[in-house]
Structure 1
Amino acid sequence: MVSEGLWSIGELARRAGVGVKTVRYYSDRGLLPEAGRSSGGHRRYGAGALDRLLLIRSLRGLGLPVPEVERVLAAGGDPDGALEEAVSGQLREVECRLVALRWREASLRLLHDGPPGERVERLRLVGTLPAPPDTEPLARFWRRSLPVRLPARVVSAVLDSVVPPLPAEPSPRQVLDFARLHALVSDPRVERPAPPLPDGEYRPAVLYEGLAEAYALASAELAAGRAPHGGGALDCFVDAYARARGTADSAAFRRGLPQLLARGEGPVMTRYWKLAAGLFAPGEPVLGALHHHLSVALRVEAGAGGGTRAGSGSGAGTG
């Protein structure tokens, strides 16, 4: 320490437990103000520089990049607010890394514990995925089937229902299911999902909003241990298609609707929902399963000689 009570760069570095190059780097960036210079032009620092340097070291120890450290130090009268924002951002980044590591671990376990004869095939599937993978290919697969004039809010709601969220802690089985699902939707030979109604005049927003209500009712009925039936979710389901076509729910319409629904069914969609089912959270309703239950209920009703709207006028439809 010099007689004026100032420290040299070496003394400050020693007291802070860092290298001289580190102190010089922070000084050059303006993070560590100098108190003056010696007669020979050497840097001199006051006692306050030690507290600031220790703070910088603590922030860097948490993984904050230098620009974030600069922003916290420049906050002035609100250092706590700037620190909270910087730490929150770092927490999000760490969580993303942890999710990536969990997906990588599950992928490795899938290969390590899998049958020897299947390891190469599984490697080809999971080896093409980033960690964590991206659900955008699944979203593109569905966007190709949605009407171009569908409102953005409806598109967003549909995608939220049909694209499974990525598990933060996937099992090896979930990794395999997602890899196969990704391969399915990325295969150029796979046809896009068929539109829910034939080409022609119909109101897409009315249909999709009505179906969302029907699926919600069906989910509640299944949770209560009841199969979808007339007077509830099934009426709402049929009503959505009828109103979208600008017609009434009638016996004739119900007899013809199963043929329309069959257009959207097939091996590709069956496989999609089989693979996607295990990626949704336990207890979360899977749209594909709800649609299947409603379609089956409609066919059973038609096969039993039904076709009139049960509970007509009860308000079970979408209005």
Structure 2
Amino acid sequence: MDATTLYSIGELSRRTGLSVRTIRFYSDSGVVAPTTRSPAGHRRYDLDALLRLELLRTLRELGIDLATIQRVMDRELSVAEVAAAHADAIDVQIRALRLRRSVLRVVAGRGSDPEETKLMHRLTQLSDEERRLLIDDFVDGTFGTVDADPAAVAMVRAATPHLPDDPSSEQVAAWVELAELVGDDGFRVRMRRAALRQAAGQPPAIESEVGEELTAFVRQQVADAVESGIDPLSDRAAPVVDDLVRRFATVFARTPDKEFRDWLATRFEEAHDPAVDRYWRLVWVVNGWQVVPGLIPVYSWLVQALRV
């Protein structure tokens, strides 16, 4: 094979693996024009045409459209430029497919109905910018745009949820639940109240009354129980809760009976809103953050155990 060799369309087909019909189409389109014609009018192609066809086949197999390939052949674009742009486009497609896969796994695992499936798809299809605006709207709606407490706003913004490009099914489920939660006006009121207290460094009244030492002990005991997977409604939780109730009863000079347990449960419910605790838990999951034992929302576990 040399630069002076001329090939029939059949020979090109055998060398490139492209069908005669396909080569004829590319030839008629002007992408790979014949070099000359035989006396009988048959198309003949030189080495350059063969190389162009091989490049064309490679680019088509990589998914690049014919119009872009034509620009490469005409030297309006380099192969490197086309490859870079196409790689970026494929990255976007891969992210979309991964997200779609995660949604389908959640749907399969939950046995979701059509409405829930549509909601999940809609919320996960939002762009990064749209997701950011969703959270911005939540923060502005919760704290207001005028005279907002800077510390409270900064605390919430510092933990902005960001769904990764390749989320797990758990992260998708958490994002969907979070998106629904931040749109609830009632939750915004509760979040504002809790965030303002936290930003001001004000401990819940029940913690101030029992003191730092007992508060730290309670949080550690309950955090250990949560980490150990102990169900607050199970018999395994009883020894932990009974011990804590006795300690609280000593502080308040009360009898550790059912009435006192109910009273404690109510006080801890007031101290830590379970919906707000749930919000922070969902943010951790969506962002893929490691759960810090000292920040585990423990009071919701304790309230359930006290109510048994």
Q: Tell me the CA shift for residue 46 of structure 1.
A: 1.4
The C-alpha deviation readout for 1:13-48, integer Å capped at 9, x for no partner, is 233211223212322333213212334544321132
Give the unaligned 5+ runs of structure 2. Answer: 147-153, 193-271, 296-308
Whether contact under 8 Å (2:163, 2:171) holds in the other structure is no
- The structure with the greater share of residues assigned to helix is 2
CA contact (8 A) 1:9 1:44 kept: yes
- Asked if the contact 1:8/1:42 (under 8 Å) is kept, the reply is yes
CA RMSD of aligned residues (A): 4.3
TM, length-normalised to structure 1: 0.49
Pair 1:101 & 2:97 matched: yes
The correspondence for 2:161, drawn from 157, 160, 164, is 164
8 Å CA contact 1:190–1:268 kept in 2: the answer is yes
Are the equivalent residues in 2 in contact too, given 1:107–1:175 (CA < 8 A)? yes
Q: Residues 16 and 269 from structure 1, CA distance in 2 versus in 1: closer, same or farther, beyond 3 angstroms?
A: same
1:50 aligns with 2:46: no
Which residue of the partner structure matches residue 282 of structure 1?
A: 289
**1:126 aligned onto 2:147:** no
| Residue correspondence of structure 1 range 191-210 to structure 2 within 5 A | none
Which digits, 9 at most, give the CA deviation of each residue in 1:215-234, with x for residues without a partner? xxxxxxxxxxxxxxxxxxxx
C-alpha distance after superposition, 1:225-247 (max 9, x if no partner): xxxxxxxxxxxxxxxxxxxxxxx
Cα distance, 1:39–1:95 mapped onto 2, change above 3 Å:
same
1:89 counterpart = 2:85: yes
Matched, 1:111 2:104: no
Unpaired stretches in structure 1, ≥5 consecutive residues = 149-156, 195-264, 290-319
The structure whose Rg is larger is 2
- In structure 1, distance between residues paired with 2:65 and 2:186: 45
Maintained 8 Å contact 1:135/1:163: no
In the other structure, the counterpart of 2:176 is 179
Aligned to 2:195: none
Structure 1 contact 138–185 (Cα < 8 Å) conserved: no
5 Å-filtered alignment, 1:229-268, equals none
Counterpart Cα distance in 1 of 2:60 and 2:158: 41
Q: Is the 8 A contact 2:163 2:286 kept in 1?
A: yes
In structure 2, do the counterparts of structure 1 residues 14 and 160 end up closer, same or farther at CA, with 3 Å as the change threshold?
A: farther
Residue 132 of structure 2 corresponds to residue 139 of structure 1: yes
User: Which residue number in structure 2 is paired with residue 19 of structure 1?
Assistant: 19
Name 2:28's counterpart in structure 1: 28
**Deviation of residue 7 (structure 1)?**
2.6
How far apart are the structure 2 equivalents of 1:19 and 1:182? Answer: 52
Kept after mapping to 2: 8 A contact 1:12/1:50: yes
Deviations 1:156-201 (A, max 9, x none): x99985643322322211111111223345569986997xxxxxxx
Distance 2:34 2:108 in 1: 57
Alignment identity in percent?
Answer: 32
Q: Matches of 1:22 and 1:158 in 2, distance apart?
A: 62
TM-superposed CA distance for 1:53, in Å, is 0.6
* 3-state SS of 1:279 partner: helix
